Copies of this chain bind each other. A is one copy, B any other.
Amino acid sequence: MDGSGLLDLSHERQVQVDAVLARFFSLAKNRAAAFGSQYVTLWETLENNTVGGKRFRPKMVMCAYQSLGGDDLEAAANVGAAFELLHTALIVHDDVIDHDFTRRGSPNIAGTYRDRAIATGASTRVANHSGISAAVIAGDLALFNSYRLIDRSGVSDQMRTRLLEVMDDALFASAAGELIDVDFQIAAEVPRVDDILTMERYKTAVYSFECPLQAGAILAGASEQVVSTLSDFGREIGIAYQIVDDLLGVFGLEEETGKTTTGDLREGKRTVLIAYATSTREWADAAHLFGDPDLTDEQAGVLRDVLIECGARSFAEGLARYYANRALARLAEPHIPPALRAELHPVADSVLGRVK
């Protein structure tokens, strides 16, 4: 399958998943009307919050599904849409936990409601409360309906049961990872590298890679061996992606990533970069800057230089390559069909491409 073929397929999958979500939100808004216009507005805001995403998780579902021979694209799109709603719920509630009103530089649900309240003359305190409240409620609706979308995807009872176990695993792990991440922020000392990798695996890789790939494979009726290997691939590449995310959060190009490269340093975010750096001599000189809420761009530059000097950057890059290669090794196993290998190879390559 050549590159442009994969792009066409990717676009087609996105269109199908978007159609499922559009239908879901349309039904919800119609139903919400009986409860008052502000409830319709909440659903509209939630819908706007899911529009325009990369649909990465749904693509993982459908990629696994189609390349393993599945042809009921409607069912696959429903399962994919379910994972997109789960993703939405988790990031909306993650922003509540962090009291964030923006994501990637734009207002999130909390920010949208806060801005509206401010525009009507509310105080900052009241506006913030309005925002956080809407985000808690919207996240609950997205979470509940992630389950419901699979439940009503039209698949057989037995298939439904298995897929819902996968969705359950996704939330169970993500909640555990989020809790560990919160504990990291509270703890005085910086965690070890492997503890951070564990947290990142639970918090993000499981629901973003492992479970969507498993779900797509199960839906396609793949063997237990294929499902298991795909899950392993998902774990390895998911961890690799998180390490790359950590690198981009400090060294990336803001126009590309949409994230600032001072945010993580200012916030004192515990990443593998920092975990490695704290084991080095060089870090001691700059450690006081890390986590400073008033960190200037210049000081961020100093931290970046130290992270390079002390070897943290190249260590993290090497670690990402290591996990990406382990992921490729899973794909190379003989029971993985060529079509599946062809589809997932680029996913691993894109990690390697960022850490040349």
- Would you call A96 and B136 a contact (CB within 8 A)? yes
Mark A83-101 against chain B: 1 for CB-CB distance below 8 A, else 0: 0000001000100110000
Cβ 8 A contact of A144, one of B126, B129, B143: B143
A179 CA / B42 CA spacing, docked (Å): 9
The interface size of chain A toward B, counting residues with CB under 8 Å, comes to: 46
The listed residue with most B CB atoms (<10 A of its CB), out of A122, A176, A178, is A176
**This protein's copies in its complex:** 2
Residues of chain B within 8 A (CB-CB) of A137 are: 93, 97, 175, 178-179, 182
The listed residue with most B CB atoms (<10 A of its CB), out of A143, A164, A177, is A143
Mark A179-218 against chain B: 1 for CB-CB distance below 8 A, else 0: 1101101100000000000000010000000000000000
Interface SS of A by simple majority: helix
A105 CA / B126 CA spacing, docked (Å): 25
- Would you call B176 and A35 a contact (CB within 8 A)? yes
Given A39-B176, A96-B136, A176-B39: A130 and B168 interface contact (C-beta under 8 Å): no
Cβ of A141 within 8 Å of any chain B Cβ, yes or no, is: yes
A132 CA / B182 CA spacing, docked (Å): 10
Which B residue's beta carbon lies closest to that of A126? B186
- Would you call A141 and B175 a contact (CB within 8 A)? yes
Residues of chain B within 8 A (CB-CB) of A171 are: 140-141, 144
- Would you call B35 and A134 a contact (CB within 8 A)? no
Given A32-B176, A171-B141, A180-B38: A97 and B132 interface contact (C-beta under 8 Å): yes
- 14 further A-B pairs in the complex, CB-CB below 8 A; given A140-B171, A143-B143, A144-B171: A31-B172, A38-B179, A39-B176, A89-B140, A93-B137, A96-B136, A126-B186, A129-B186, A133-B182, A137-B178, A139-B140, A140-B175, A144-B144, A144-B168
Taking beta carbons and an 8 Å cutoff, which residues of A are in contact with B?
31-32, 35-36, 38-39, 42, 89, 93, 96-97, 117, 122, 126, 129-130, 132-134, 136-137, 139-141, 143-144, 147-148, 151, 157, 164, 168, 171-173, 175-180, 182-183, 185-186, 202
